[in-house]
Chains A and B, each alone.
Chain A
């Protein structure tokens, strides 16, 4: 029972849209994310996961994402990895491959539960059938929801073959930031079924940094060339293509990509007098060259340069 009306105590399944128009029982519009003791026992830091009551599921999910324990991300990552490896080599973790189908009731490995959870929510927005099993779902189920802001990145391309695990076609893959409870579910479903637009991958990478390095690694294995392209682009060039503001990157380290942007901006500032477009092609800022005390006396092939810093000599002499 992830959400609970703070007025009358009615609970709502994660992703329920009923609460969007207020509590059907008492009309209350304040809800809390209600982790249960079992969720806490799961020790995934479920304690922090209370969404601090909000009608707006988007903000709710944002809260959830920010408070989401790393374990969840890790588990989700493991799940994805399992699926993928199951896809490519069934023997690696066959049960993981089957898991999604039977998930709602079977509850095989704990790490797999979170993902199936949304199936159940799909089927019925009401109370989870079995509290015991569902207690951990809220938070884990949130993970995809969380990602829905940057749609479906985690599964990458390998995931169309995963469609056996989900029913992706019933909803558009767009609908990023879960504005409706149902959309959250679709996003969750899509997260495991749709092909990722490569543009969206970077955001995921930033998200996954939050989840942990191993998740990033998983994304690499899942998304295959997508993630390669992503890291390649991130490291080498074209950060401009990436929409860094897309998705809910909160405050966690956003990985190397933004810092490379920063670095580039920094470099541009430092090298504003001469811009090396490429070897043999230069753009010069005459005013900057004129204004500087030091001046470049030698440009090296590798982009380094030698400068003359007359002022420092003067200082020495003066001393």
Chain B
């Protein structure tokens, strides 16, 4: 009997998920190149699914295709929030292979550059079509007031998408969370170090709250 009940519950849960009016929210992780988007995506995915999302690198534009991790279930206070996270290529207005020639030969650098450009196009397309919320990741050691940041956050605002700003890399000495808060006072800024795993509790609290 207990078995039957369990089975029933299980079916019911599956049905709920299948037909629930609320599909898992698809949360796009956006930001300029090298802000730590993939590191964050991997941190979230590892914490809740055990898998990673993609390779991380200190060389910009490591992520050149959007990658999605589906059904990431985040539990907060006994409540479960299921999201799909989309790790997107870093968005920029200029891609130059010469940035990479120190790290690789010219041919590879050019290919990387080309793929990165395609990645930006894809990221912008996802932003338009496929995301329900945005985590905007910034390197808190860098000046947040850039054309790309202003434009992207403007686009997100124009679409009325829920957005959280993550001030990443707080482990760096030059990090300044306040600089980011001041730049985008209209949005909630959460400091973290995705690499070190610092302040991840607050990160998940806010994800659950904003995107649950």
The 8 Å CB contact of A289, one of B94, B95, B125, is B125
How many angstroms from the CA of A282 to the CA of B98 in the assembled complex? 11
Known interface pairs A282-B94, A286-B93; A297-B118 also in contact (CB < 8 Å) = yes
Q: How far is the CA of A298 from the CA of B117 in the complex (A)?
A: 9
B117 touches which of A284, A287, A292, A310 (Cβ 8 Å): A284
The answer to whether A289 touches B124 (Cβ under 8 A) is yes
| Separation of A119 and B179 alpha carbons in the complex (Å) | 79
- Mark each residue of chain B from 87 to 106: 1 if its CB lies under 8 Å from any CB of chain A, else 0: 00001111111100000001
Q: Which residues of B contact A286 (CB under 8 A)?
A: 91, 93, 120, 124, 148, 151-152
Encoded as 1 (CB less than 8 Å from any A CB) or 0, chain B from 131 to 152 comes to 0000000000000000010011
Contact with B along A276-312 (1 / 0, CB 8 A): 0001111111110111100111110000000010100
Q: Given contacts A284-B117, A299-B117, list 6 more A-B pairs with CB under 8 A.
A: A280-B110, A286-B120, A286-B148, A286-B152, A287-B155, A296-B117
Interchain Cβ contacts under 8 Å between A and B, 5 examples:
A280-B98, A281-B94, A281-B113, A282-B94, A289-B120
Q: Report the Cα distance A298→B93, complex, angstroms.
A: 17
A274, CB-defined interface residue at 8 Å: yes
- Chain A residues within 8 Å of B, Cβ to Cβ: 273-274, 279-287, 289-292, 295-299, 308, 310
- B118: chain A residues at CB < 8 Å are 296-299
Cβ of B152: which chain A residues have Cβ within 8 Å of it? 286
Interface pair B151/A287, CB less than 8 Å apart: yes
Q: Is the CB of B121 within 8 A of A296?
A: yes
* Most chain A Cβ neighbours within 10 Å, of B94, B106, B121: B121
Residue B46 is within 8 A (CB to CB) of chain A in the complex: no
Would B117 and A274 count as touching, CB distance under 8 A?
yes
Q: Do B97 and A290 touch (CB < 8 A)?
A: no
Please tell me if the beta carbons of A295 and B95 are within 8 angstroms of each other in the complex: no
Q: A274-B121, A287-B151, A299-B117 are in contact. Are A281 and B127 (CB under 8 A)?
A: no
Q: How far is the CA of A183 from the CA of B74 in the complex (A)?
A: 87
Nearest to B159 among chain A residues (CB) is A290
Which partner residue on chain A sits nearest B120 by CB separation? A284
| B residues near A274, Cβ cutoff 8 Å | 117, 121
- Contact check, A282 vs B124: say whether CB atoms are below 8 A apart: no
Given contacts A274-B117, A297-B118, contact A283 B94 (CB under 8 A): yes
Q: How far is the CB of A283 from chain B (nearest CB, A)?
A: 6
Which chain A residues border B125 with CB–CB below 8 Å? 289-290, 292, 295, 308
Partner of B121, one of A280, A281, A287, A295: A295
